[in-house]
Structure 1
Amino acid sequence: MSYAIIGFGEIGQTLAKAFARSGIEVSVATTRDPESFASAAAAIGSGVIPQTLAEAVKADVIFLAVRFQSHADVAKALPNWQGKIIVDVTNAYGVPDAELGGQPSAKVVAQAFTGGRLVKGFNHLVAAVLDQDPAVHGGKRVVFLASDDDSAATEVGGLAEDLGFAPIKLGGLSEGGLLVQAHGNSWGRLIFKNLIKFD
């Protein structure tokens, strides 16, 4: 499996560090020329590969770490996302429910990525917490996953474990997904919950 992170702001860089900690190669891209963030990528680790957006979207699993409002622009990079898993790390805080058509924000994102298998995840922790070692007090930091495609959620859950986290699947986007999504000017009930799972 190949991995890419689209967006190299605070969250994108934090995710890249998680990959680097675990020795898993990951591509990183923005809409800018890769040279413009190559030194920042190199500072994280040699396995963090700066690429163009067109190159990065060839990956099997793509983390969408951009502003919610930018997701549609990224979706235009491919006419069809068939066979790809999109991990939606965006938060639509402040976006009026009317703009989302009464749907969970992740469903709106899923519709933009035609043919892709969307998993909502890695978005409920602030960057400063996500940046910490996920091994805590003999347990592992929890990441919540929600998807209408259970097999995609299972695949991302396996990756989360490889990155050192404890994945917890919440079910579909219209049920569990709402617990980890911002809607309007409110946050889902599980957002910002820094939970540790002990075996």
Structure 2
Amino acid sequence: MKIGTLGAGTVAQAIARHAVTSGHEVVLSNSRGPASLAGLVGELGPLAHAGTPEEAAAAELVVLAVGWPQVPDVTTGLPNLGGRIVIDATNQFAAPPPLAEIADLGEQTGSEYVASLLPGARVVKAFNTLYGQYIAADPHHPAGRQVLFLAGDDADAKATVRDLTGDFGFAPVDLGSLREGGRLMQLGGPLSALHVLKQD
């Protein structure tokens, strides 16, 4: 599978490392341009490439992993994603920690908002409940595998993300729709920042 990242920070890099380790090709992008990612892609190896956001968005599966204030700018101008799967790894921090202000979206969940900015995309919420170091670490632990919560409105897209992250070593748990599951996973929800293991 070819996986693109919109953003190249801690979370995107961690997912990219798991992807290339599992044999997938990755196209990383950020707001500073491909040249700024030369060192990172060199470290990740021959399956990793730097590209523009448009090139990353052309991959079979796209990971959105940027700060919440950057979401509108990153998504504006992207081509219609035409049924592509987008993993939404964002959290709606209007201001990052230590202020940690949460954006007020009314009744809408963060991923429903993201989906509204990406017509044609099949959005799956995942990775946002875990701190970056837990995403980057080996998901296998002596007591079990790191649980990865996910939610989405498209069953096939969720199955693809479940299988992919299962190959990474995580224990994916499907929480249902972007509305119901997303509420559990987003900032302020009971599963936000919950790190648990599943015994095999």
Map 1:20-169 → 2, pairs under 5 A: 20-93=20-93, 94-97=101-104, 100-137=105-142, 139-169=144-174
Structure 1 residue ranges, 4+ long, deviating more than 4 angstroms after superposition: none
SS of the equivalent of 1:86 reads strand
Map 1:163-178 → 2, pairs under 5 A: 163-178=168-183
Per-residue CA shift, 1:176-199, capped at 9, x if unaligned? 1111101xxxx2211222111123
Query: Which letter does structure 2 place at the counterpart of 1:144?
Result: F
Per-residue CA shift, 1:113-168, capped at 9, x if unaligned? 01111000011111111111011116221111001112211111111111111110
RMSD after superposition: 1.5
Asked whether the equivalents of residues 2 and 24 of structure 2 are also in contact (C-alpha less than 8 Å), the reply is: no
Asked whether the equivalents of residues 57 and 77 of structure 1 are also in contact (C-alpha less than 8 Å), the reply is: no
Query: Which letter does structure 2 place at the counterpart of 1:198?
Result: Q
SS of the equivalent of 1:189 reads coil
Asked whether the equivalents of residues 79 and 114 of structure 1 are also in contact (C-alpha less than 8 Å), the reply is: no
Asked whether the equivalents of residues 61 and 84 of structure 1 are also in contact (C-alpha less than 8 Å), the reply is: yes
> Which consecutive unaligned segments of at least 5 residues does structure 1 have?
none
> Which consecutive unaligned segments of at least 5 residues does structure 2 have?
94-100
Query: Which letter does structure 2 place at the counterpart of 1:190?
Result: L
Distance 1:165 1:77 in 2: 33
Distance 1:96 1:8 in 2: 22
Per-residue CA shift, 1:62-101, capped at 9, x if unaligned? 000011222222222324222211110000032332xx24
Query: Which letter does structure 2 place at the counterpart of 1:191?
Result: S
Distance 1:57 1:172 in 2: 23
Which shifted more, 33-42 or 84-93?
33-42
Number of aligned residue pairs: 193
Distance 1:67 1:73 in 2: 11
Query: Which letter does structure 2 place at the counterpart of 1:22?
Result: S
Counterpart position of 2:98 = none
